[in-house]
């Protein structure tokens, strides 16, 4: 049974919540709790008199108190627990606080701190959020989904916990990732928290530490594999389509042997995407669009190396190919040959054993036949940079310091404005620091990173901003746009449209100061423009509402929830 419903008074046009909870039950519901900000009338109507202090407070009072509590904490883990505690008590206050201090709190509610929280989630969890799908309950998935008691779900973020950030298999403790991701959807794009659902598909874990931990809260067995695994996923998808047929599903932190398969198997059947693959690619492509605009030379002259060619690397490569084809007018196969894919054993060349998603990016053996290197192995990163004359270098390897001075000096010789994207997280895994990249290139490099870095003061007196290639630029607006325009599926062109929208927001003045992406403190406006680009592209591909731009923009603005307290009216039935 639903706990509440948003309604509009037909006489006054006032938006209010029709709520069926009262007393302590209402105060314990984080979606509905206002703390001591319930009005006198609401306290009487909802049987709250005497359950709250006499003073009637405001949201602003609560934010001041909560920020003080947050600031008093000494470690990031303490700050994480403080923020999650607020989320568990009062979601409106949590999202208002997060939105007011997004740049400060983003590393706490998501990477890198959320990863540390996931390592010990079974030991620190206070309140269970979302749903847990297991082999023992998946046959009753429709009932499980109905148990959440919310009016409607528009957004689902699901993980199976197998590849949590760079930490590996964390089983059910990976639930911290969907919870954190949804917090960013709400804060950055204004998707109403009551329309969101974090999901952990708990099929066991191969992590011996967890299996031997008496406090571990997940299924204590080895992971399901093969058809048994896919049977659980299939039954889950069937339930989602029946109970929430128009919901968007984001696949999050699945193992590489499942992620691409799930994306390909279900992207036509259910509105879905994989942020680790597609979101990373589109965000990197947005940064490259800006960099190439600054360089002001034909895209066909770029020679691009991607160091670390797993799922994220292939996602970046495919996004770049789309950009080269759509913006540079370069034929598809020629665009692919501009990309040099470097995996753990070196450059991928024809005849190598590789994953299916890597196969499009083999370099012909003829292309490297003239290189003065040993022919009994694949070329290494430094050899590729030198002999292919790489002009854009992208790191997704997780190898801290992989871009050494030898490689950076060669990049400085290859072109006037080399592009260096060191995208691995956390900071310790970053392939190069911005300071080192700029020093080695005499301040000429165009740099972005996966982790946050402070601006660099170059020796010529310039302050150079370092953009963080954070998927936050992409996925909230993608979700908002797809939901509002009622898209039937997510297409490759939608991601390209999103990249263009993000890059277009970087002003001339910002580009002069090193920005390759717009400032994160403007994230709601970024999400709006991404959402509008998605809705337009869906319209063009006949995958969404056929409305003019002005109407689509109005719908998106109206859908962006602002965290504040709505008036409540009691109703016995919903």
Segment 89-116, tens digit of pLDDT: 999 999 999 999 998 999 899 888 999 9
pLDDT of residue 149: 83
pLDDT of residue 1: 67
Q: Partners of 419 in the beta sheet? A: 392, 446
Span 186-195, mean pLDDT? 96
Tokens of 456: 């660099």
110-270 topology per CATH: Rossmann fold (3.40.50)
Residue 55 CA to residue 38 CA, distance in Å, equals 10
Residue 534 CA to residue 248 CA, distance in Å, equals 14
Buried b (16+ CB within 10 A) or exposed e, 222-246: ebbeeeebeebbebbbebbeebbee
Q: 253 in helix, strand or coil?
A: coil
State the Cα angle at 518 between 514 and 520, rounded to 5°: 115
Segment 44-68, tens digit of pLDDT: 999 999 999 999 999 999 999 999 9
Global pTM value: 0.94
Segment 543-572, tens digit of pLDDT: 999 999 999 999 999 999 999 999 999 999
pLDDT bracket for residue 320 (50, 70, 90): very high
Residue 21 CA to residue 46 CA, distance in Å, equals 8
pLDDT of residue 372: 92
pLDDT of residue 509: 95
Find out whether 178 and 158 touch, Cβ atoms under 8 Å. Answer: yes
Domain layout of the chain by residue ranges: 4-57, 110-270, 278-469, 473-551
Residue 532 CA to residue 538 CA, distance in Å, equals 10
Q: Which residue did the predictor score with more confidence, 65 or 521?
A: 65
pLDDT of residue 449: 96
Place of tokens 């108190």: 65
User: Which CATH number describes the domain made up of 4-57?
Assistant: 1.20.1370.30
| Second CATH level (architecture) for the domain 278-469 | 3-Layer(aba) Sandwich (3.40)
Place of tokens 């591909």: 541
Q: 104 in helix, strand or coil?
A: helix
398 φ/ψ angles, rounded to the nearest 5 degrees = 70, 15
Segment 340-388, tens digit of pLDDT: 999 989 999 998 888 888 989 999 999 999 999 888 889 999 999 999 9
Segment 487-502, tens digit of pLDDT: 999 999 999 999 999 9
Segment 163-183, tens digit of pLDDT: 998 789 999 999 999 999 999
**303: CB partners within 8 A, 6+ apart:** 338, 340, 388, 389, 390, 391, 392, 414
pLDDT over threshold 70, residue 150: yes
- Strand 346-347, strand 339-343: pairing: antiparallel
Tokens of 168: 């590996």
Find out whether 124 and 117 touch, Cβ atoms under 8 Å. Answer: yes
Span 389-396, mean pLDDT? 97
- The answer to whether domain 110-270 and domain 278-469 are alike in fold is yes
Catalytically active residues are 110, 181
Burial class (CB in 10 A: 0-12, 13-18, 19+), 527: buried
The percent of residues in the chain predicted with pLDDT above 70, rounded, is 100
Residue 371: count other Cβ atoms within 10 Å of its Cβ: 15
Find out whether 96 and 63 touch, Cβ atoms under 8 Å. Answer: yes
């Amino acid at each position: 049974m639903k706990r509440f419903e948003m309604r509009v008074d037909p006489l006054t046009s006032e938006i209010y919540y029709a709520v069926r909870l009262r007393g302590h039950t209402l105060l314990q519901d984080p979606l509905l709790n206002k703390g001591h900000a319930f009005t006198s009338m609401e306290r009487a109507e909802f049987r709250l008199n005497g359950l709250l202090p006499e003073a009637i407070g405001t949201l602003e009072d609560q934010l001041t108190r909560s920020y003080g509590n947050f600031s008093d904490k000494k470690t990031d883990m303490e700050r994480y627990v403080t923020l999650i505690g607020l989320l568990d008590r009062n979601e409106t206050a949590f999202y208002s606080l997060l939105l007011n201090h997004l740049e400060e709190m983003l590393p706490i509610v998501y990477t890198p701190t959320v990863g540390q929280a996931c390592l010990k989630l079974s030991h620190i969890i206070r309140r269970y959020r979302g749903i847990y799908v297991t082999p023992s309950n998946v046959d009753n998935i429709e009932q499980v989904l109905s148990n959440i008691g919310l009016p409607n779900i528009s957004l689902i973020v699901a993980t199976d916990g197998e590849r949590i950030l760079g930490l590996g298999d964390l089983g059910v403790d990976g639930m911290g990732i969907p919870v954190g991701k949804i917090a960013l959807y709400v804060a950055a794009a204004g998707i109403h928290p009551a329309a969101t659902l974090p999901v952990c598909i708990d099929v066991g874990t191969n992590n011996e530490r967890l299996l031997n931990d008496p406090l571990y809260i997940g299924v204590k067995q080895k992971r399901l594999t093969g058809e048994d695994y896919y049977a659980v996923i299939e039954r889950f998808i069937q339930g989602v389509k029946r109970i929430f047929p128009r919901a968007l599903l984001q696949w999050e932190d699945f193992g590489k042997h499942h992620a691409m398969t799930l994306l390909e198997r279900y992207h036509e059947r259910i509105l879905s995407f994989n942020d680790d693959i597609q979101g990373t690619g589109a965000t990197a492509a947005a940064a490259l669009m800006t960099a190439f605009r600054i360089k002001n030379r034909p895209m066909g002259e770029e020679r691009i190396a991607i160091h670390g060619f797993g799922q994220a690397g292939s996602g970046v490569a495919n996004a770049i190919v789309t950009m080269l084809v759509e913006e540079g007018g370069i034929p598809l196969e020629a665009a692919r040959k501009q990309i040099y894919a470097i995996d753990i054993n070196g450059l991928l060349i024809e005849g190598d054993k590789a994953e299916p998603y890597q196969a499009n990016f083999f370099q012909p053996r003829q292309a490297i036949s003239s290189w003065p290197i040993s022919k009994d192995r694949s070329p290494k990163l430094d050899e590729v940079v030198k002999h292919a004359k790489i002009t854009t270098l992208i790191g997704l390897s997780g190898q801290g310091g992989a871009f050494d001075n030898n490689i950076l000096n060669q990049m400085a010789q290859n072109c006037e404005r080399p592009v260096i994207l060191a995208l691995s997280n956390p900071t310790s895994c970053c392939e190069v620091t911005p300071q080192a990249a700029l020093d080695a290139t005499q301040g000429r490099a165009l740099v972005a990173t996966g982790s946050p870095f402070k601006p660099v003061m170059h020796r010529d007196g310039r302050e150079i901003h370092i953009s963080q290639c954070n998927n936050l630029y992409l996925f909230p607006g993608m979700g908002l746009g797809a939901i509002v325009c009622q898209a039937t599926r997510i297409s490759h062109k939608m991601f390209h449209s999103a990249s263009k929208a993000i890059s277009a927001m970087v002003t001339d003045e910002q580009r002069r100061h090193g920005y390759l992406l717009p400032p994160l403190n403007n994230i709601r406006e970024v999400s709006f423009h991404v959402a509008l680009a998605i809705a337009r592209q869906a319209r063009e591909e006949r995958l969404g509402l056929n409305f003019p731009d002005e109407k689509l923009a109005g719908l998106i603005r109206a859908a962006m929830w602002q965290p504040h307290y709505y008036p409540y009216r009691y109703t016995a039935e919903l």
